[in-house]
Copies of this chain bind each other. A is one copy, B any other.
Amino acid sequence: MSFRALVEEIAKRARLAGNHLSELPSDAKDAALRCAADRLEEASKSILAANSQDLGTGRSTRAPDAMLDRLTLSGDRIGAMAQGLRKIAALPDPVGEITGMWTRPNGLRVGRMRIPLGVILVIYESRPNVTADVAGLCLKSGNATILRGGSEAIHSNTAIAELFRTSARECGVPEDAIQLVHETDREIVDLLLDREDEIDLVIPRGGEALIRRVAERSRIPVIKHYKGVCHVYLDRDADPKMAGDITINSKCQRVSVCNSAESLLVHESLADTLLPSLLAELHGLGVEIRGCPQTLKRCPDAILASEDDWSQEYLAKILSVRVVESMDQAIDHIRIYGSNHTETIVTENLRRAHAFLRRVHSSCVMVNASTRFADGYQLGLGAEVGISTTKMHWYGPMGAEGLTTQKFIVFGDGTLIE
């Protein structure tokens, strides 16, 4: 079968499965999710065997350590995937939810009801747990999903996707609601991105290059998340201990992820009190400081930040630091150099906390919390299919609700336009 014919078949099967899935009651979908969770745990040995095969190939092709780390499964990681699915099953079903209803002067009752988007294509790299998260959230929200994982994880992904298909079939859910693309040729992706009649949304998960390539190429709407340049702003009324804790947790708890902090903005009133000891502590933790001239005065180990530093997503033990004269200046800085991902203010001042929340238009805006909470699981969405840092359709970590849209529903009583 040619790639074109293969892709057409996948897309058409997905559309049919999506139509069927959109009408299923919550019970059937939740049963399939719990069944998949049980099967993941039961089949943990064979999943680990498939994963070993991928790791073997990865080692023999000298894949980078970071990639091998993301690729590696363990009994614990499989258990966490299963628990995630049970949490998704326990969430309320977004489909059918009526989000508002009002009555017009002529008696017409108008409301809005959530429905699935239809078919979701997810393109991702390395991490096999994405397979379970995405399949779970798409199933919950009544969407068929086409999974296109990286070739480096093909055996792991196949094992997980097959469990989902079996679980679906057993619970009266069409198995084509979950399709993994086994063919790893790149041309397949381009062909999928042309199927605008069958696929409603594309979610690329991976580096900026992958996302730009998909966005340029796709005829289908794309959820974009280019990078995470997250800021911590220490207000003049910050609690000093909290300021240090949140800065260090945001920067250091896991440096390789998009919701870790890359830039620290400090009100000038703290420059001589809090800043020197905080920078010393960060330096002691192995964090390289790239600072503005004011920062350099307070930190002998800092190096001067270049203009480029302010918009860098380091994903490493590096932090850019700038002393600002006011919250206004901090907000302007975030607007210019930020990536619309996540920013947090540390303050005890109510008015400035609320002004920061209102005025900063990043997808997650926080008060007195670590930027590391910008994650679908941590925010209570069960998991995430991805993060959107552009404002279209969804903004921020995207769970089951983000995979729905709302139609208008109207009740009349023979109501006519005059």
Contact = CB atoms under 8 A, between A and B. Distances in A.
Interface of A: 19, 22-23, 96, 102, 104, 108, 110, 113, 115, 117-118, 200-201, 221, 239, 241-242, 245-246, 249, 253, 335, 344, 357-359, 361-370, 372-374, 378-380, 390-397, 405-417
Interface of A is mostly: mixed
B407 A369 contact: no
A373 B108 contact: yes
23 contacts: A104-B379, A108-B378, A113-B357, A115-B361, A200-B390, A221-B221, A221-B390, A241-B414, A242-B414, A361-B407, A364-B408, A364-B409, A365-B407, A365-B409, A366-B411, A367-B410, A367-B411, A369-B415, A370-B417, A373-B415, A373-B417, A379-B410, A392-B405
Given A249-B416, A412-B366, A359 B23 contact: yes
Nearest to A241: B414
Nearest to A360: B407
A369 B410 contact: yes
Top 6 nearest A-B pairs (CB, nearest first) are: A369-B412, A242-B414, A391-B405, A372-B417, A366-B410, A249-B416
Contacts of A409: 357, 364-366
A364 B407 contact: yes
A391 to B, nearest CB: 4
A57 B93 CA distance: 57
A412 to B, nearest CB: 3
B373 A245 contact: no
A329 to B, nearest CB: 15
B200 A392 contact: yes
A394 to B, nearest CB: 8
Contacts of A22: 361
A393 B364 CA distance: 18
A248 to B, nearest CB: 9
A408 B407 CA distance: 23
Contacts of A374: 408, 410
A130 to B, nearest CB: 20
Given A221-B392, A358-B96, A407-B395, A413 B368 contact: yes
A110 B380 contact: yes
A361 B404 CA distance: 12
A416 B248 CA distance: 10
Interface centre among A118, A201, A362, A390 (most CB of B within 10 A): A390
Nearest to A104: B380
A103 to B, nearest CB: 9
Contacts of A364: 407-410
A381 to B, nearest CB: 9
Nearest to A404: B391
Contacts of A359: 23
Given A242-B414, A368-B411, A395-B405, 10 more contacts: A118-B391, A221-B221, A362-B407, A365-B407, A365-B408, A367-B412, A369-B412, A369-B414, A372-B417, A394-B405
Given A19-B335, A110-B379, A397 B393 contact: no
A393 B392 contact: yes
B392 A201 contact: yes
A55 B83 CA distance: 67
Contacts of A368: 411-415
Contacts of A411: 366-369
Given A374-B408, A411-B368, A413-B368, A393 B396 contact: no
A239 B393 CA distance: 40
B246 A414 contact: yes
